[in-house]
Amino acid sequence: MKAFAIVGGSLLAVVLVIVMMSVGYHNRSVNLQESIKASQTACKIVYDETWKKVQQDAQITGKYAEDFKQVYTELMNGRYQGGTKSFITLIHENHPQLSDSVYTNLQNTVDAARTKFANEQKSLVDKNREYEAFKRTIPANFFVGNDPAINIAIVTSEKTDQAFSTGQENDISLFTTNTKAEK
């Protein structure tokens, strides 16, 4: 009878440990899945924010250039309408300058936003890697190895896909006029 109690108690302890392990691994799997879903949503938010910032900053830059052109044209038309002497005065005077800072600010906005987006994408990929590795390691794979894979969306370009499929990237021109190459 005593031996039966020891064996029964040992089996109960083993079952209890297995149940606790199962619960622990399941909870870890759920946390990783939810973390991946949250990162995917964060990527969408950053992507949306990126394009809104760039579009709005570009509109401000364009409006600034338009306004500058209008003011400068009116200034020149109203001031220098009288022959050779006016032309010499034009050369010697200080005139309003189109500040390149508006373009620098736009460039900084694009750079910062794209970097932020790339970092979010890298974080998403890393979380997915962690989840897949967790499912495949022993002993977790006994409990959560059949949990579904999560399809993450990585935003890239046609150009990048082509470079990775061919193993070549030949177009390195920064100022190409080919609209297909700009995708």
**Tens of pLDDT along 103-138?**
888 899 999 999 999 999 999 999 999 999 999 999
Domain hosting residue 68, numbered range: 2-168
Is 57 part of a structural domain of the chain?
A: yes
Q: Is residue 175 part of a domain?
A: no
DSSP codes joined into one string, 114-174: HHHHHHHHHHHHHHHHHHHHHHHSTTHHHHHTTSPP--------HHHHHHHHHT------T
Instruction: Indicate the pTM of the whole model.
Output: 0.71
Q: Does residue 13 form part of some domain?
A: yes
What is the domain count for the chain?
1
Q: Which of 103, 120, 104 is nearest to 49 (CA)?
A: 120
Query: Residue 22 domain-assigned?
Result: yes
Q: Which residue has the higher pLDDT, 2 or 124?
A: 124
Domain assignment present for residue 163? The answer is yes
Structure tokens at 44: 């969408």
Confidence label for 183 from pLDDT (cuts 50, 70 and 90)? very low
Residue 20 is assigned to a structural domain of this protein? yes
Domain-embedded: residue 176 = no
Does the residue 178 lie in any domain? no
Nearest to 42 by CA among 153, 131, 133: 153
Q: Residue 78 — φ and ψ, nearest 5°?
A: -80, -25
